[in-house]
Amino acid sequence: MRRRELTAPWIVTVALAVVARPTRAEPELTPCTRVPLYEVGTAVGTVCAENTGAYVTIDLGDDWTPLVFSETVDHAQPYRKTFLALASEHVGSEPKMRTARRDRYYELFGVFPSIGVIRTRLLDAGRHACHAAVDDEPLRALSKTIAPWDEATAVEAVALRTVQAHLRCEGFLPDAAKEGKFDGATSEALALYQRRHMIPSLVVVDRETRQDLLTASTELDFRTLLRALRERVVDATGLIEDGSAAAAWEPILGRFVDSPEYQPRLRALPLPGAAPDLVDRATEAAAVALGWTSPEVAIAALGRPMPSRVAVHASPRPTYASRIVDLRVEIDRGDVWKSYPLDAEGRPRRSPVKNRPTFTLFAITPDGEVPLVRWPTTIGAWKEEKLPDESVDLRYKASPVGRAYWRDLVAAPAWFPPPTTPDRELLRRQGRDEWAVDDDAVGPGYRSAYGLVALLHHRTATDGDVSGQLSDMAIRTHGSGNYRSIMRGSSHGCHRLFNHLAIRLGSYLLAHRGYERHGTISESYVRTLHWQGRALKLRVDGRGYRYELRPPVTVDVLPGRPVRSRAAPPPSRPMALILTPPE
């Protein structure tokens, strides 16, 4: 479905309007696309899809993508086809889909399965019966994490057999797997299971993975359905307020459908005046309207034909929503370690961080700013860099402090590695002694360094004057395929977000800001990589799909709290500060 491009004032006035529950009689609008209106699982009539003030039209079709992956006749979106293939889990046999075939499931990377895929899972009675027949007591009695690198005790070996039984029910575990052993086959199968259920853990049987294994498969599939519905509700309503700014996430139908990793309490106190969790409230209202209120009811509902587009009553909005005049972003760098990370013997020094970096989006209203979301992010740290003599050393990659602007929003961005990126970082092992170019890292793709959405940081020659020349700082706020780095790691200077949140952010900006659609960025990148006596060619054609935000969004990067409790680096490893590094 192609979307009309609308100007920001129209969107803010209508999509954010506070609406009362309408009567069923309504005047005809022109144009008028009739869609069924659902209440409590039943179609009660039809309404105009264009009546966005009174109703929300939700796209349940298998050809849906978030707004940031929309396209026009003049500007086709090259990644849209790939996104739909991933969502439908039909990735084909093309060489470029090699990693996608291995991963199989993509929620961890921001691509939620289509409703058709989830319907098939929920209606798979044989699989559900298989899980229900597994004796879970050995796994339920387990109180510690089981890791493949540890020698399993007798009790843990019995629990591993339970894990393996569940993995067999999914068809993930090959016959060659060793019973009660955390072997390679079991590790690969468990990684598939974690990706399928959006668990951002190491490939271990930790508390979260164990809890999901002990949960009914119908319930797990139902949570997947609610997560997928939520992204479509977000896209249809233009909401982004998820309760994170208030540290007050709300359940959907009495259950939290996300890993605790995605709901971190980043600071001791919530932000004053923060927005409530409108996203999950709207998702619950839509689920109730559709009749998807439990696994059993959803199985029955999805077993019947359903239209690809439905309308539900729009939920009331807070008073600030109709008064938003601008947006602003604030990135707090948190605890900043600048001292050298190795001791004189080359051993790593600990860099404990109490306050992780945070990303906050504010709505500016006549009465002041309203924090909409507060998400975890990253800042730069010490990283390896290739020097002019081809040697590699550590350099500090800073995240510059001060005011910047988002002008360019790039969907499905490609990362063009700077010359200082060591060749080894751009290669992946292929077989025991073979190496290949790491196409996944450069992208475009869900595992790329920039994830699926990137916002470029620009600076102005004169502070505050965005009408003049803007210069690219080579810093980005972007999604990341390295999802475990968001809460634990660092970057080369950029500000990473979970991929699904980066996609939400990109779509939110397009829904609430004027923009010009430029389409595909026709730039190429070629580099010869040298490794173990071989030369390999890295080539990228196209840098992504560009939108120009008008006006740009203001981004303020705060200094954070410098932590300087270490001695200077050894004389043989001099410190170098790079203030504006590329990611």
Per-residue pLDDT of the chain (583 residues; tens, 9 = 90+): 334 333 333 332 223 333 333 333 344 446 789 999 999 999 999 999 887 788 999 999 999 999 999 999 999 999 999 999 999 999 988 888 999 999 999 999 999 999 999 999 999 999 999 999 999 999 999 989 999 999 999 999 999 999 999 999 999 999 999 999 999 999 999 999 999 999 999 999 999 999 999 999 999 999 999 999 999 999 999 999 999 999 999 999 999 999 999 999 999 999 999 999 999 999 999 999 999 999 999 999 999 999 999 999 998 888 898 889 999 999 999 999 988 888 888 888 888 899 999 999 999 999 999 999 999 999 999 999 988 888 889 999 999 999 999 999 999 999 999 999 999 999 988 877 788 899 999 999 999 999 999 999 999 977 666 766 899 999 999 999 999 999 999 999 999 999 999 999 999 999 999 999 999 999 999 999 998 888 999 999 999 999 999 999 999 999 999 987 555 555 555 444 444 433 4
DSSP 57-118: EEE-STT---GGG---SSS--HHHHHHHHHHHT---S-GGGHHHHHH---GGGT-PPPHHHH
pLDDT at 569: 57
> H or E stretch including 526?
strand 524-531
Parallel, antiparallel, or unpaired for β 382-386 and 392-397? antiparallel
3-state secondary structure at position 295: helix
* pLDDT for 345: 84
Tokens 């790691």 correspond to what residue? Answer: 489
Q: What per-residue confidence (pLDDT) applies to 403?
A: 96
Q: Please state the domain extents for the chain.
A: 8-21+28-68+220-277+291-320, 137-213
Q: What does DSSP assign to residue 419?
A: T
- 217-237 and 499-512 are packed helices; what angle lies between their axes, rounded to 10 degrees? 30
- pTM value is 0.90
CATH 1.10.101 holds for 137-213? yes
Burial class (CB in 10 A: 0-12, 13-18, 19+), 328: middle
Backbone phi, psi, residue 568, to 5°: -65, 160
Please give the pLDDT value at position 349: 87
| Predicted local distance difference test score (pLDDT) of residue 572 | 55
Question: E strands, 224-357, where?
Answer: 309-313, 326-332, 335-337
Output DSSP code: residue 261. Answer: G
Q: Return all residues near 199 (Cβ < 8 A) that are at least 6 apart.
A: 108, 193, 208, 209, 212, 259
Pairing of strands 495-498, 470-480: parallel
CA distance 504 to 241: 10
pLDDT at 17: 32
Question: In Å, how far from its chain's centre is CA 500?
Answer: 2
Q: What is the pLDDT of residue 51?
A: 78
